[in-house]
Structure 1
Amino acid sequence: MKLSPHLPLAALAWATLTLPASAGVMHDQNVTPDVIFGSGNVNGSFTVDRNNGVELGMRGKLRHNASGAPENTFNSNGDGTFSFNAGVAPTQSSPTPEWSVEWSINTNFDGTSGWNLNDLTYELGVDSNPTSATTFSTFDPIFGANGSAGSRVQWDHAIGNNLTGNGDGTSIPNASNDEPGYADLIDQNNVAQQSWKAHWYGISGFDPTIDGTYDFYLAAFDDTTEVARTQIQIIVGAGGAVVPEPGTMLSFAIIGLIGCGPMSRRRR
């Protein structure tokens, strides 16, 4: 929505507060072709963007239930947010939370783009600020260095194509030191998926025991042009403390000035 310069100040302030969200993102979706990492992981509950033949999906997941086991429980609120309990995960040590973030990249989900994974670049944004404000760090989850393996580029993602079945993705273990094999996989395939725990993302000072709100986004680029983007929010406990955005504070200030109106000096 564009804001008209002719709107009254009160209307301008209200419009600023009610800007619509992106219309291209859909919630509680399946990803294409299926969930191809691990075994026993079901499809569904992904927040998905499908644009330019590219499908990007993200979701939260209950990684450690009361017994410490993974569970196909996603706690989606139907709007791109996922809610989980604060605390160290059962049977785990700090800073492991009960939840994880799962993502899926398909560069040719409907057969129209012709792209494989190595034809695009990517950006994964990770919010380290537990309040409602965001502090993002970013990296490329396909071409960026694998932090657990030094500077080499060889992730253990599950990789496949539009015919790969549930749990049947191909992964190269980090310890195998097979960068050429990984390069071949992303050159010949269009699907990559991964499931990561919060502290694996390198969130600085992450404390699973405090209430917080964490944002994550995933974007794909053809050269410098963004072709698709999805994002989710993990709400831990009651969520993070609300921090008013500068624009919101300005809007309230404008409304306050309007409410004051002209004042005349009282005569004695």
Structure 2
Amino acid sequence: MKNKLSALLLATSLVCGSSQAVILYDQDITPDVIFGSGNANGSFTTEQNNGIELGLRGKLRHNAAGQPENTFNSNGDGTYSFNAGVAPTQSAPTAQWSFEWSINSDYSGDDNFNFMLADLSFVLGLDTDPSLSTDFLTFDLIHGIEPIANSVCWDHSMGDNGTGNGAGTEVSGCRSADAGVAAAATAAYATNLTDFNVAQNSWKPHWFIPGFDPTIDATYDFYLAAFDAQGQQLARTQIQIIVGSGGATQVPAPTPLLLLGIGLLAVLLSRKRVFS
């Protein structure tokens, strides 16, 4: 069952790798928000551990005019609240909100770690269940197959600790129907993974969540985790997006034993009516 994220995290302490890390709320990410233009830093739920910084946040993607806005609706505890409904000027199933993520595999420049994006794996967990239960869809958002391009080639903004706001490097052509263009883009993306330690993006939920319905009250959990080559978790952060009044408690399906008991009770009541 889902609980409010602050309760789930208790004192926000998690043990990852060999040292203790703490999830922090309403933080700036390092070095800045490097995707797009006009996107403000701040309101990220972050963890910094083993030289790695991971961040997640919710964002008002479509305001009343249908435009993106630097409004994040953070509740200060790793949860973000947004209205239910189809986004203004958009068609279903586009929600009013999006989620944004940031990976910095070497945020401190510490020589004891000094990871590049190519050195680690990164798992994004997307909760596909709008109720208070969870059902995670997971994939490596750096080294995994991009669904439309059908190759390891994403349009993430990438950079290093000196990259300024909106100044990330993106690969174009990943989804090209021209095989030569697509192959060149895939090769460029692989090179960027060895050259850069920062990757970021802003995604709409219906791009990934099957059957997503923006009009219902819901609670969605998201997590982002980094792992070394041995599969050891080195860092992890997580958030909840609360839509409208939030998800409802899911009623468990009757167990076989309970169903048997109900059946026997029905037989007894039937017999009682017959013989009374």
TM-score bracket for this pair, using the shorter chain length: 0.7 to 0.9
Q: Which 5+ residue runs of structure 2 have no aligned equivalent?
A: 1-6, 14-21, 253-276
String of CA shifts for 1:109-168, please: whole Å, max 9, x gaps: 001121000000011000010011100010000000011212x11100000000000000
Which of 231, 236, 242 lines up with 1:235 in the alignment? 242
**Aligned residue identity for 1:196:** W
What is the identity percentage for the equivalent residue pairs of Structure 1 and Structure 2? 60
Matched position secondary structure for 1:96: coil
Matched position secondary structure for 2:207: helix
1:220 aligns with 2:218: no
Q: Which 5+ residue runs of structure 1 have no aligned equivalent?
A: 1-16, 246-268
| CA distance in structure 2 between the partners assigned to 1:218 and 1:18 by the alignment | 16
> 1:260 — aligned with what?
none
> 1:194 — aligned with what?
201
- Cα offset for 1:242? 2.5
- Cα offset for 1:22? 3.6
**Aligned residue identity for 1:42:** A
Q: How many residues align?
A: 227
> 2:143 — aligned with what?
143
Aligned CA RMSD, in angstroms, stands at 1.6
- Cα offset for 1:56? 0.1
| CA distance in structure 2 between the partners assigned to 1:44 and 1:97 by the alignment | 22
Asked if 1 retains the 8 angstrom alpha-carbon contact of 2:58 and 2:98, the reply is yes
1:147-166 matches, within 5 Å, as 147-150=147-150, 152-166=151-165
String of CA shifts for 1:63-112, please: whole Å, max 9, x gaps: 00000000000000000000000000001010000000000000000011
> 1:123 — aligned with what?
123
> 1:209 — aligned with what?
215
TM-score by length of 2: 0.80
Matched position secondary structure for 1:148: coil
Matched position secondary structure for 1:183: helix
| CA distance in structure 2 between the partners assigned to 1:117 and 1:37 by the alignment | 17
Which of 52, 60, 65 lines up with 1:67 in the alignment? 65
| CA distance in structure 2 between the partners assigned to 1:241 and 1:221 by the alignment | 33
Which of 68, 92, 95 lines up with 2:93 in the alignment? 95
Change (3 A) 1:18 1:66: closer
TM-score by length of 1: 0.82
String of CA shifts for 1:50-73, please: whole Å, max 9, x gaps: 000000000000000000000000
String of CA shifts for 1:207-259, please: whole Å, max 9, x gaps: 000000000000000121100000010000000002489xxxxxxxxxxxxxx
